[in-house]
Amino acid sequence: MMRKYYIAGNWKMHKTVSESVALAKELAKELGPCGERVMVAPAFTALSAVAEALKGTNIVLGAQNMGPDLQGAHTGEVSPLMLKDLGVVAVILGHSERRHSYLETDALINKKVLLALAQGLEPILCVGETLEEREAGKLEAVVGTQVREGLKGVAASDLARVTIAYEPVWAIGTGKTATPEDADAVHAYIRVVLESLYGKPAAKAMCIQYGGSVKPDNAAELMAKPNIDGALVGGAALKAETFGPIVKFRS
């Protein structure tokens, strides 16, 4: 069977509502009924309009973050109920920008992962080491802890709805991509951690995306690696001319 990849676009803090709708429409036209699973995550403010623009397409709607509670006195937070109400299917959690700029901890991220799953959303749990941690030989300890702590309490029966995104912090927005070999080695290590938690078949079946300066000219060699099952794309996801060719990396 041909492998199906999961390619997601994280639009981060870019684009007004009309710019977001324009990109969503361009992508719908450009990608058509393609063989991969495609997700886009616009800003919260554009989710509703992008949901409308994506109706009838195969592109899945994602959010970039989510609050850790269902509702209540949590100024500035967005609950999974609100996301579902707009047609959101997937949610990016624990992105390195949330971990580093907003000091999100593994415990908070884990709370969000469990809540997303309980609410029927599909979390993408982001993990990744800084350059300092890599150079200090702590890569496996850091990534292993982020995976273990992020998935704490996740039932084996829910694992298939979780995606892991390995995003080395030093490769995000820097133009420095991990070599396909380096990325694949970390993905393989993540599978070892998953195997220790959930057994071999579940670890093998898990979708692990790579993120960090994925571009049209490096997507195919990354996707060719046995442990890389998709991509979480930042900068190159902001234009149909660059996101389109990444999704269509096979052609």
Question: So which residues are the catalytic ones?
Answer: 95, 167
Task: Please tell me whether residue 239 binds ligand 13P under the rule CB under 6 A.
Answer: no
* Residue 160: CB minimum distance to ligand 13P, A: 22
Q: Does 40 bind ligand 13P (CB under 6 A)?
A: no
Residue ranges in 51-110 that form contacts with ligand 13P under rule CB under 6 A: 95
| 72 or 175: CB nearest ligand 13P | 175
Residue 213 interacting with ligand 13P (CB under 6 A): yes
Task: Output 131 or 192, the one with its CB closest to ligand 13P.
Answer: 131
Is 172 near ligand 13P (CB under 6 A)?
yes
> How is the chain classified by DSSP, letter by letter?
-----EEEEE--S---HHHHHHHHHHHHHHH-S-SSEEEEE--GGGHHHHHHHHTTSSPEEEES---SSSSSS-TT---HHHHHHTT--EEEES-HHHHHHS---HHHHHHHHHHHHHTT-EEEEEE---HHHHHTT-HHHHHHHHHHHHTTT--GGGGGG-EEEE--GGGTTSS-PPPHHHHHHHHHHHHHHHHHHH-HHHHHH-EEEEESS--TTTHHHHHTSTT--EEEESGGGGSHHHHHHHHTTT-
Regarding 233 and contact with ligand 13P (CB under 6 A), the answer is: yes
Residue 212 CB, nearest distance to ligand 13P (Å)? 5
Q: Which of 5, 6, 10, 90 binds ligand 13P (CB under 6 A)?
A: 10
Which of these segments, 147-155, 178-186, 211-219, 221-229, binds ligand 13P (CB under 6 A)? 211-219
Nearest to 34 by CA among 58, 2, 53, 1: 58
User: Does the protein bind ligand 13P through residue 199 (CB under 6 A)?
Assistant: no
Q: Assess 211 for contact with ligand 13P (CB under 6 A).
A: yes
Site for ligand 13P contains 167 (CB under 6 A): yes
* 235: contact with ligand 13P by CB under 6 A: yes
**Residues engaged in binding ligand 13P (CB under 6 A):** 10, 95, 167, 172-173, 211-214, 232-236
